[in-house]
Structure 1
Amino acid sequence: MASADVRRQFAAAIADAAQRDAWLSEHPPQLEWYGGQFDAVEVDPDLPAFAGLQAAHAEEFGVPPELVGAPYGSDMRLLVHE
């Protein structure tokens, strides 16, 4: 799900909850989105490019690489064609 869709759903849930509260219905919360906001991306670890990179890492360092996700925004999302 794209981050814009998540933001819309989150804002709708906050607005719905606020409408059901006496004080919040008179003082609706204001959401502010700031900082970098990046859509998530996932790649298939079985792609040939990854096999080559894993082999090169194992050859250079003597151990296979640990495959982990990156918990930060990056330009990788620009390289994935969905």
Structure 2
Amino acid sequence: MSRKRVLILGGTGYLGQHVLQGFSEIQETTPCDLAFTHHSSPPPQALLNAFPSVMPFSVDLKSGNGFEAISHQFGPS
């Protein structure tokens, strides 16, 4: 079975940071490829260090700028 891919929109927001934290707690038992979007700044470095290969993407949700990078680098394989 292939690894699951999870994209969290708004990874630097209140809810997004809690979702990222939740994935960091289950990463050893349920590994997955994880990416998140951010607009102004990435989440704290300690949270990024919890994942060996987390992929941050700078995205402007109003204009859609940045979504193309997600589909090219993290989209379906």
TM-score, normalized by the shorter chain, greater than 0.5: no
Q: Which one has the bigger strand percentage?
A: 2
Higher alpha-carbon Rg? 1
Q: Which one has the bigger helix percentage?
A: 1
TM-score when normalising by structure 2:
0.24
